[in-house]
Structure 1
Amino acid sequence: MTPETVLRLEDLHTTIDVRDGAVHPVDGVSLEVAPGEMLGLVGESGCGKTMTALSVLRLLPTGGRVAGGRIMLGQDDLTRMTERELRAVRGRRIGMVFQDPMTSLNPSIPIGRQVAEPLELHSRLSGAELRERARTMLDLVGIPHAGQRLDDYPHQLSGGMRQRVMIARALVCEPELLIADEPTTALDVTIQHQILELIDDLRARLRMAVILVTHDLGVVAGRADRVAVMYAGRIVEHTGTRSLFGNPRHPYTEALFAALPEHSAETGRKLYSIPGTPPDLREPPRGCRFAARCRYATVACRDYDPPLKADTSGHSYACFHPVGVPAPEVIQAVAARTASAEPEDGGAKDGAPLLSIEHLVKDFPVTRGLWRRAGTVSAVADVSFSVGSGETFGLVGESGCGKTTVGRLVAGLETRTAGRVTVGGVDPDTVRGKDSRRLRRDTHLMFQDPYASLDPRMRVGAIVAEPLVIHGVGTRAGRKRRVEELLAEVGLPSDAVERYPHEFSGGQRQRIGLARALALEPKLVIADEPVSALDVSVRAQVLNLMKDLQDRHGLTYVLISHDLSVVRYLSHRIGVMYLGKLVEIGRADDVYPHPRHPYTRGLIDTVPVADPWATRESGTAGVTGELPSALTPPSGCRFRTRCPRAQDRCATEEPPMRDMGPAGHQAACHFPLQAPDTPAGITTSGAGSAL
């Protein structure tokens, strides 16, 4: 270990004692990180990333212990410290940003006190000084009006703001090392970009070492100096970021790259899905732990465990048969092996629309006390679009833009303020009695969090059968057969019927949600962020399953997501929402490569790209600034307060939706972006001045 090393793990082993044995989530991990350096730790869920991070802090779950190896923080071995000595390290020398800020922050304590708490424990500052330091930290991490927010509680903040509070709390003592465990999971792309920019800026300013734990390869590509890939408790590949992305050597790393949606979006081919599941870490296999899922595995791989060794360039990998093809060629080769015979048709389906939305409006009243009305939140403001039978319509935008509210209005879970929604030509609100119930069967909503939306006290069989029971479909024996058919169709084992939701992984719970959605054979499925919190390999499995089910049953999807790569891969058309308004709509292969609205361009520029060589166009920096309040939206164009092209006209005149090109590509902008084949100064279909 050099004097410049902040943290070094030497052959770290962590064990968790459980009822029927012992799990080994960290099995011989060796890593180091230097001042000002960011190390990315990537892999599937359950590979040991978070347990490695928690082992450093010795904050392991019940039954967990560091069973071997050393954790060197500078010249101090954390494995030899007492609990009292560790408390002097946590928060002061090592800061931790946990994955879910809502469950990590105390809901009963104001955020100012929570940010100041580490400083209160590790310094002699007084109450007024602690409050001022907390205000300074909140201001540093970009909390607007920081002094006024000190007495706010976590539930009063958005997800991005809560994550900023967690970062402020972790950095208030200016630690040597910051560990960020999935700091951007389930955040929309603009908030994700702001959080990552913040960590990058603070790392450079404080010369702080950072370990970034994530399953998002796009995040590490643009931020990390080095990347370690974990699988089944071990490091299987470790090198510089560009070396890893340019020439992955381990088959597992190669497979992770091949499963990225952006690599199949343009062709429409199925994503590569890593077969099988990770091994049981109570009894890990004798040989290579990836052998059972590896396309290159031989007998030697199953009998002998390959060591982690570095080649002449310092690129380390644990494999007897390393791959050595540059990443783009790897992706093409894997796609050729796994693709359907022909690419999917990327266009919208013909025929009358199944779903039609006309001038949809939803306002939520805001009250003070029990009855006093304080204002109105304009959640959905005059939105119109249609979705053809068998089509996937992607609805994208930042958190708070109104896309989930549109989904709930279509599903009948919210009452419209104004407008019309028809499914199959019939407005559900105009139908009463049995006819209404029968019509409601045609539409089903898949919720964002499958764990929160599944009753933890019900077995999976009862959860999937519940829609059948409510609508009185079939006999008890018939419903049982139907549940078994549905679970088999979504790839779940037969014994899932008698198990509870907590016994399944995130991807499996999403499959349960799909099975429940299909129980009544609906025509329309509204999928609200169906893969936002899933790692890359499980996400590929769920997306492929959704495509297969659509082809098999002729399903129509409204896909609500902030992940534009997922939307582009699965959708025929895309609608972009901002602060309750639809600002752009068109075919996916028109909108994504050639956006006409500045907001759409900003969203695309903000998306993390799994390419360390990627560069943005000159003058593009994504969407900046804070989302205005829907209580008092800006006059004229609602995006004008954040738009780099805004002019006086934008403040006084709301832009109408206008044609911007072929195949129904429309945008609501006075000064739209210029199409690549349109000469400067030439307008398109009356769209106004193309600056």
Structure 2
Amino acid sequence: MNPVLRLEDLHTTIDVRDGVVHPVDGVTLDVGRGELLGLVGESGCGKTMTALSILRLLPSGGRIASGRILLGDDDIAAMTPAELREVRGKRIGTVFQDPMTSLNPSLPIGRQVSEPLELHSTLSRRELHERAVAMLELVGLPDARKRAEDYPHQLSGGMRQRVMIARALVCEPELLIADEPTTALDVTVQHQILELIDDLRRRLGMAVILVTHDLGVVAGRADRVAVMYAGKIAELTDTRRLFGNPRHPYTEALFEALPENSAESGEKLYSIPGLPPDLREPPAGCRFAPRCRYASEECVEKEPDLRADVAGHEYACFHPVGSAGVDEPSAVVRVHERAGAPASEPAAGAPLLEVENLVKDFPVTKGAVLRRRTGTVSAVAGVSFSVAAGETFGLVGESGCGKTTVGRAVVGLDEPTSGHIRINGTELTSLHGAELRQRHRDTHLVFQDPYASLDPRMRVGAILAEPLEIHGVGSRAQRSARVRELLGEVGLPADAAQRYPHEFSGGQRQRVGLARALALAPKLIVADEPVSALDVSVQAQILNLMNDLRERHGLTYVFISHDLSVVRYLAQRIGVMYLGKLVETGPAAEVHGNPRHPYTRGLIDTVPVADPWAARQSGGVSGELPSAISPPSGCRFRTRCPFAQEICAAEEPVLRPFGAGHEAACHFPLDAAREHDATKVYQGENG
């Protein structure tokens, strides 16, 4: 069959002040009807610019320099603006990364979903509304007819992304381009969105291009994968061949950087050295050569062409890895199956941090002037845990579960409604004056978005020196020396002190954030989603750095994340939170390998695994998170739990032990729940 889309030697350039950038440089690929093609690589590799080139939505100064973009028999590269308007939205649908910035805040979502149909059809206003409602129902938006009147800010992140998908599909396009559609979402919502895209492309027969840096996402869903590096295709083949027998060293390095590969052994993650090349002046030879452990003189002097040992498996490398001529990838030993030493045990000894019955409520008010209190958000509802000195405690759960609020309370950014927080036995909730300032020296928070937490008007040197100045540490010369020392600790050059935050990459900015956290030599660092927005290679560098700093300085971490694979690698113990409650806690290997709470099991089932042979998990956590203003009675998870019974609504479960240090709060812990469920089925079948 002829492909729905074919790119032929596509070259895209962007004119900038000091030269010409070549973000897409000779890309040739195609995608067929009903096929999902994964486009993967690090940030800056050209995958998003390839998608924007297909749509002809390039930034200022951008243009298609040469090549063809064939949608069926029509060349998008040669279309006039009027012809392009007939293609966008009608024949090609697009889902962008951030639905909040892509949706119009001043229009109801039903109107926004029907807008493409309004432009490309002659339907009446009533018919347009009915089609919009039908599409919202198709993408699984609860109470779609009522929600069609809502505005974007009234919806959750997952709901907004469903609206974006409905808008992209309302004209039944031939091709859907999804650019990092789940990067900012929890694993549970991510699972639902990916299932939705997968289901719709099979039902509607669409071709789909999925742009992502998450190898787990493409492993379970893509038919073929194109790995991009520095504007070029490095490797292109079907998914199983790629994961079973990668031939390009860059692909191999991406796989080795995955945290799940070293979760059991505790070994340091492989991190790709250096940075991608400057695409204003790309190197003459192989663009990956400066970072490649197999590079030779030939790689530096000559550029490799795409070639294939086996039909359908192309790669651009003079020194390929893997096995030549292997057409049965299951015969190849997969990277993540390597055996290693047992994972590190939880730290023993007296706790550094103790959190006891922590409660944090936020008032809900109404009125611009009087601000009448109309309710209370129960953000944290009686959470207790402890962390030993030198230990990493992972706190996981969906957005809205209260884990960030716990972290902010620990470092003193939020005052608890009640409860106790102690460090080395000292109660923190009642400190004042000099004692309170000492608390802020002992604890520090590393934020999720380093760019938003670094002052764009200050040089990095001033940012790092600021906490030292506030606490009166050292002279000016001593503070300058400390800044140089901190930059060295996190692997940045001394001249980085003279640069501004916007001059750094995302991974480098997170290193600056870590350096600032270390400035006052704290005992405890709370890291709130510090790697969630980073590529797998940069994520590996930051996780390795955090481990090195912990060992070097005896640091204690509370690591907050929704990604259980990352937490499993970094943490010795894990706490799972749901709607303000701690529902399970214990050693990382035990919680991940033998979860007792259905919510923990659901989180594990929804995490994408970089293994196309793994059985696709059909379970996971379904439904929307209930409101923290009026949480469910009894067990707060019961409204989404497949094992819930009457007792779950009437009585709140308490944490009870399931082995050494392993506790869960459930009336029907997983083993018992399975037996109970099986008994019900048996009794039903036998009257």
TM bracket (short chain): over 0.9
Q: After TM superposition, list the pairs within 5 Å mapping 1:88-237 onto structure 2.
A: 88-237=86-235
- Are the equivalent residues in 1 in contact too, given 2:35–2:208 (CA < 8 A)? yes
CA gap of 1:114–1:354, structure 2 versus 1, over 3 A, is same
- Are the equivalent residues in 2 in contact too, given 1:269–1:335 (CA < 8 A)? no
State the Cα distance separating 1:10 from its structure 2 match: 0.1
Query: SS of 1:543's equivalent?
Result: helix
State the Cα distance separating 1:671 from its structure 2 match: 1.1
Question: C-alpha deviations, 1:5-24, integer Å up to 9, x for none?
Answer: 11000000000111111110
Q: 1:573 and 2:573 equivalent?
A: yes
Distance 1:162 1:625 in 2: 15
Q: After TM superposition, list the pairs within 5 Å mapping 1:153-552 onto structure 2.
A: 153-325=151-323, 329=333, 331=335, 346-369=344-367, 370-552=370-552
Question: C-alpha deviations, 1:337-382, integer Å up to 9, x for none?
Answer: xxxxxx6962222221111000011111112224222221111111
The equivalent residue for 2:326 is none
Query: SS of 2:569's equivalent?
Result: helix
The equivalent residue for 2:683 is none
TM-score (norm. length: structure 1)? 0.94
Distance 1:470 1:109 in 2: 46
One-letter identity of the residue aligned with 1:645? F
One-letter identity of the residue aligned with 1:610? A
Distance 1:330 1:645 in 2: 36
Question: C-alpha deviations, 1:202-260, integer Å up to 9, x for none?
Answer: 10111111000000000000000000000010001000001111111111111110000
Distance 2:621 2:51 in 1: 32
CA gap of 1:636–1:588, structure 2 versus 1, over 3 A, is same
The equivalent residue for 1:339 is none
The equivalent residue for 1:610 is 610
The equivalent residue for 2:681 is none
Question: C-alpha deviations, 1:82-112, integer Å up to 9, x for none?
Answer: 1121111111111111111122222233322
CA gap of 1:115–1:679, structure 2 versus 1, over 3 A, is closer
Q: Greater shift after overlay, 115-124 or 29-38?
A: 115-124
State the Cα distance separating 1:639 from its structure 2 match: 1.0
Query: SS of 1:300's equivalent?
Result: helix
State the Cα distance separating 1:329 from its structure 2 match: 4.5
Q: After TM superposition, list the pairs within 5 Å mapping 1:555-566 onto structure 2.
A: 555-566=555-566
Distance 2:404 2:645 in 1: 31
CA gap of 1:499–1:335, structure 2 versus 1, over 3 A, is farther
The equivalent residue for 2:47 is 49
Moved over 6 A (4+): 332-336, 678-681
Distance 1:82 1:598 in 2: 55
- Are the equivalent residues in 1 in contact too, given 2:244–2:334 (CA < 8 A)? no
Question: C-alpha deviations, 1:520-576, integer Å up to 9, x for none?
Answer: 111110000000011110000010000001111111000000000000000000000
Q: Greater shift after overlay, 574-583 or 447-456?
A: 447-456
Question: C-alpha deviations, 1:473-513, integer Å up to 9, x for none?
Answer: 22222212111211121112222212221221111111111
TM-score (norm. length: structure 2)? 0.94
State the Cα distance separating 1:335 from its structure 2 match: 9.7
- Are the equivalent residues in 1 in contact too, given 2:36–2:224 (CA < 8 A)? yes
Distance 2:377 2:349 in 1: 36
The equivalent residue for 1:669 is 666
Query: SS of 1:173's equivalent?
Result: coil
The equivalent residue for 2:684 is none
- Are the equivalent residues in 2 in contact too, given 1:296–1:321 (CA < 8 A)? yes
Identity %: 75
Query: SS of 2:575's equivalent?
Result: strand
Distance 1:114 1:400 in 2: 27
Distance 1:318 1:134 in 2: 45
The equivalent residue for 1:35 is 33
CA gap of 1:86–1:353, structure 2 versus 1, over 3 A, is same
Query: SS of 1:497's equivalent?
Result: helix
State the Cα distance separating 1:37 from its structure 2 match: 0.5
1:631 pairs with one of 625, 629, 632: 629
The equivalent residue for 2:59 is 61
Distance 1:566 1:679 in 2: 28
One-letter identity of the residue aligned with 1:85? E
The equivalent residue for 1:595 is 595
Query: SS of 1:175's equivalent?
Result: coil
Gaps of 5+ in 2: 324-328, 677-687
- Are the equivalent residues in 2 in contact too, given 1:16–1:65 (CA < 8 A)? yes
Question: C-alpha deviations, 1:627-662, integer Å up to 9, x for none?
Answer: 111111111111111111111211111111000112
State the Cα distance separating 1:123 from its structure 2 match: 1.6
Distance 2:53 2:628 in 1: 43
Distance 1:295 1:46 in 2: 21
One-letter identity of the residue aligned with 1:237? E
Gaps of 5+ in 1: 337-342, 682-691
- Are the equivalent residues in 2 in contact too, given 1:141–1:164 (CA < 8 A)? yes
Distance 2:423 2:342 in 1: 25
Query: SS of 2:150's equivalent?
Result: coil
- Are the equivalent residues in 2 in contact too, given 1:269–1:344 (CA < 8 A)? no
Distance 2:526 2:123 in 1: 53
One-letter identity of the residue aligned with 1:249? R
Question: C-alpha deviations, 1:407-452, integer Å up to 9, x for none?
Answer: 1111111121111111221122222111210122111011111111
Distance 2:354 2:451 in 1: 31
One-letter identity of the residue aligned with 2:565? S
State the Cα distance separating 1:127 from its structure 2 match: 2.5
Question: C-alpha deviations, 1:279-298, integer Å up to 9, x for none?
Answer: 11111111111111111111
Distance 1:222 1:332 in 2: 15
Distance 2:269 2:659 in 1: 30
1:622 pairs with one of 620, 626, 641: 620
State the Cα distance separating 1:332 from its structure 2 match: 7.3
- Are the equivalent residues in 2 in contact too, given 1:8–1:71 (CA < 8 A)? yes
The equivalent residue for 2:680 is none
One-letter identity of the residue aligned with 2:496? A
Distance 1:62 1:283 in 2: 20
Q: Greater shift after overlay, 17-26 or 130-139?
A: 130-139
Q: Greater shift after overlay, 295-304 or 20-29?
A: 295-304
Distance 2:343 2:608 in 1: 27
State the Cα distance separating 1:623 from its structure 2 match: 1.0
- Are the equivalent residues in 1 in contact too, given 2:261–2:337 (CA < 8 A)? no
CA gap of 1:106–1:493, structure 2 versus 1, over 3 A, is farther
One-letter identity of the residue aligned with 1:349? A
Distance 1:333 1:175 in 2: 40
Q: After TM superposition, list the pairs within 5 Å mapping 1:78-93 onto structure 2.
A: 78-93=76-91
One-letter identity of the residue aligned with 1:67? A
Distance 2:600 2:631 in 1: 19
CA gap of 1:335–1:445, structure 2 versus 1, over 3 A, is farther
Question: C-alpha deviations, 1:34-66, integer Å up to 9, x for none?
Answer: 111000000111000000000000101111111
- Are the equivalent residues in 1 in contact too, given 2:447–2:529 (CA < 8 A)? yes
Question: C-alpha deviations, 1:254-282, integer Å up to 9, x for none?
Answer: 11100000000000011011111111111
Distance 2:607 2:658 in 1: 23
Q: May I ask how many residue pairs the two structures share in their alignment?
A: 668
Q: Greater shift after overlay, 289-298 or 548-557?
A: 289-298
Query: SS of 1:14's equivalent?
Result: strand
- Are the equivalent residues in 1 in contact too, given 2:285–2:304 (CA < 8 A)? yes
Distance 1:14 1:245 in 2: 29
- Are the equivalent residues in 1 in contact too, given 2:139–2:196 (CA < 8 A)? yes
